[in-house]
Structure 1
Amino acid sequence: MKKIIYGLSTLLILSSCVSKKEFAALEAKQKETQDLLNSATVKLNSCLADKSAALARVETLKDQLANLKETNKDLIESTKEMTMLTAKGAENLERSLESLKEKDLKITRLQDALNKKDSVTLALVTSLKKEVGLNDDDIEINVEKSVVFISLSDKLLFKTGSYNITPRAKEVLGKVATVINGKPDFEAMVEGHTDDVPYKKGVLLDNWDLSVKRATAIVRALEEQGVAPSRLIAAGRSSYLPLVPNDNAANKATNRRTKIYVIPKIDQFYNMIETEMKDLSAEGE
C-alpha cells in the first residue's frame, strides 16, 4: 500500500516533467492498480467474514462436542445402572419362577390327593350299590359334594311317629355296616329329617327331638352290626331342609327321611395332605 502511494506521489512530481503520452500511461497504470486494490479489499473483507463465520461455527461445534461428551457420560452411567437392574431383575425373575414351580408342584400334590380321595369315593359308591342294591325305591345311593350318602325313606325305617326301626331297616343297615367296616378310614354320619307337621310325644318336644332320636336309633343299629361307635355321628335337621314343599301327603313322605353320609375322617384327610407337603419340602431341600 505504501509503495502504491509512493508511486502516485512520484507520478505527480514527474507529471510536470513527462509528456502527455507518458502521463496517460501512468494514469492508466494507476487506475489498474486502484482496481486491483479494490478487488483485494473486497476479497479481504470476504475472507474476514468467512473467518468470522468459521470461528462461530467452531464455537458451535465445541458446544455440541461438549454436549455429546456429557450425553455419552450419562449414557455410560445409565448403561451401568441398567446392567445392574437387569442382573437384579433376572435374579428376581429366577426366584419368581422357582416360587411358581414350587407352588405348581404343591397344587399338583394336592390335586393328586383329591384325585385319590375321589377314586376312593367312587369305589365306595360301587361297594354300597353292590352290597345294598338299588331295587328298592326307598333307598338312594349317590354322591353329594364329593361325599357318599345313602338316603333311606321314613317308611322303610320307622313306623309313623316312631323312632323304633323296622326289621327291614335292620337288614339294610346290616349291609351298610358291612361296607363301613370295610373302610376303616371313613366315618358315618346319620342325619334325620322330618316333615313340617308339629310333633310332640312323651319326652320328645318337637321335630328336632324326633329327627335326632331317629338318627341315634340308626347309630345304635350300626353299632350293633359291628361299626365302632367312635366312627359314628348322630345329627338331626328337623323339618328345615326339605327336598320338596310340604304341601301334600306325598311330599311330606319324601321329606321324612334319614341320610347316612359315609365320609373320610377329616383329621386323616388333612394328615394325608400334610404328609404330601412335608415330602415336597424335603424334596425342595
Structure 2
Amino acid sequence: MRTVVVVALVGLTSACVSAGKFRNKAAEADELRAHGAELEAALARTNGELEKRSEEARALQAQVAELSTSRGTLEARVNELSTSKSKLETVKAELEKKSSEYEKMANALRGEIDAGRVELTELRGKMTVKMKDKILFSSGSATLGKPGKGALAAVAEVLRGVDGKVIRVEGHTDNVPLGRGGFVSNWDLSVARALAVVRFLQEAGVEPTRLAAAGYGEYQPIAPNDTPEGRSQNRRIEIVLAPGEALAPAPAPAPAGM
C-alpha cells in the first residue's frame, strides 16, 4: 500500500513539472512570436525607408544627369558667345581702324578740329570732313570767306594725295527761309555752296574727275531745327571720301535722228 502511494506521488510530481515546463515554453514562444512580429514590423519600416531613399537617389541621379546635360549646353553656349564676341571685336577693330588719309587729314585740320569748327569721322572706309557753314560762308552767301579758304586749303593738300576715292561735296542748310540773297530756296543755296567748294578744291589741285557736288537743302538734318544750336549743326558742308573709281563723265547725247 505504501508503495502505491509513493508511485502516485511521483507521477503527480512529474505531471506538475511537465505542465510548468510547458507553460514556460509557451510563454517563451509567445515572447518569441511578439519579438518576431516587432522584427517584421521594423524590417517593413526599414524596407519602406530604403525604397524611399532609393527613389530619392534615382531622382537625384536624374537631376545630376539633367544638370550635366544643361552644363554641356551652357558650356557650348558660352563657347559660342565667346567666339561671337571675338568676331565682333575683330569687326569693330576693323571698322574703327583709321586710314592713313584720316591721320593726315586729322593732323592738317588739328586746329579747326580742336576749336570745334570741323569734325572728322571714318567708318567702313568712308571718311567725312564736316565743316560748319559759318567758317566757310557768310549768312545767305555762297562766296567763300578767307577763314573758309584757309581750312579748305588744308583739306585740299591732303586730298591731292588721295587715290581711288570719290570726293563728294555735300551742302546742307537749316529750314529757315532765305530772307535775302539771290537764291530761290535753301536747296539752291546748298547746291551753290557745294559747287563753290568743288571749284576751290579743283583750283587747289584736286583731280576734278574725282569731284562731285550735291545739295540737300534742309532735307537731311542731323539735329532738330527748333533751336539755334540745332540749326547751327544743320548748316554745314560735308566732304565725303568714299571708295570707288574716278567719276566717269556723263555719256554724250546721241545725234539727232538716231
Q: Which runs of 5+ in 2 are unaligned?
A: 245-258
Deviation at 1:90, TM superposition (A): 6.1
Shift of 1:213: 2.6
Q: TM-score, structure 1 length as denominator?
A: 0.55
* Per-residue Cα deviation, 1:177-214 (whole angstroms, up to 9, x for no partner): 22223344664543332572534766x43223222332
Per the alignment, do residues 43 and 120 of structure 1 end up closer, same or farther by CA in structure 2, a change over 3 Å counting?
Answer: farther
Candidates 84, 108, 117, aligned match of 1:127: 108
Question: CA shift at 1:33, angstroms?
Answer: 4.9
- The question of 1:216 aligning with 2:195 is answered yes
Deviations 1:51-98 (A, max 9, x none): 35416734863785598589769967985x778767755654553344
Matches within 5 A, 1:1-285: 17-18=1-2, 26=9, 30=12, 33-34=15-16, 37-38=19-20, 40-51=22-33, 53-54=35-36, 57-58=39-40, 61=43, 68=50, 92-93=73-74, 95-117=76-98, 121=102, 123-129=104-110, 134=112, 140-143=117-120, 149-154=129-134, 157-158=136-137, 161-165=140-144, 169-170=148-149, 172-184=151-163, 187-193=167-173, 196-199=176-179, 204-225=183-204, 226-230=206-210, 232-238=212-218, 245=227, 257-262=235-240, 265=242
Q: Cα gap change, 1:148/1:177 in structure 2, threshold over 3 Å: closer, same or farther? A: same
- Percent identical residues: 19
Figure out how many residues of one structure are paired with residues of the other and give that number: 235
**TM-score (normalised: structure 2):** 0.59
Alpha-carbon offset, residue 106 of structure 1 = 0.5
1:140 maps to amino acid = R
User: What is the identity, as a one-letter code, of the residue corresponding to 1:238?
Assistant: E
**Letter of the structure 2 residue corresponding to residue 212 of structure 1:** V
1:99 offset after TM fit, Å? 1.9
The structure where helix makes up a greater share of residues is: 1
- Once residues 71 and 254 of structure 1 are traced to their aligned partners in structure 2, the CA distance between those partners, rounded to angstroms, is 78
Deviation of the 1:116 alpha carbon: 1.6
For the Cα contact (< 8 Å) 1:194–1:211, is it kept in 2?
Answer: no
Which secondary structure state, in structure 2, belongs to the residue aligned with residue 191 of structure 1? Answer: strand
Tell whether the 8 Å contact from 1:148 to 1:261 is kept in structure 2 after alignment.
yes
Per the TM alignment, residue 244 of structure 1 is displaced from its structure 2 partner at its CA by 9.0
Could you say what secondary structure the match of 2:117 adopts? strand
Q: What is the distance in 1 between the residues matched to 2:41 and 2:53?
A: 18
Using the TM superposition, name which of 89-98 and 212-221 deviates more.
Answer: 89-98
Deviations 1:19-48 (A, max 9, x none): 9xx67x938x83685266235314313313
Cα–Cα, structure 1 residues 51 and 257, in superposed 2: closer, same or farther, change >3 Å?
closer
Describe the SS at the equivalent of 2:154: helix
Pair 1:114–1:40, CA change in 2 (3 A)? same
Provide the C-alpha distance between the structure 2 equivalents of 1:73 and 1:238, rounded to a whole number of angstroms.
76
Amino acid at match of 1:217: A
What RMSD, in angstroms, separates the aligned Cα atoms of the two structures?
5.2
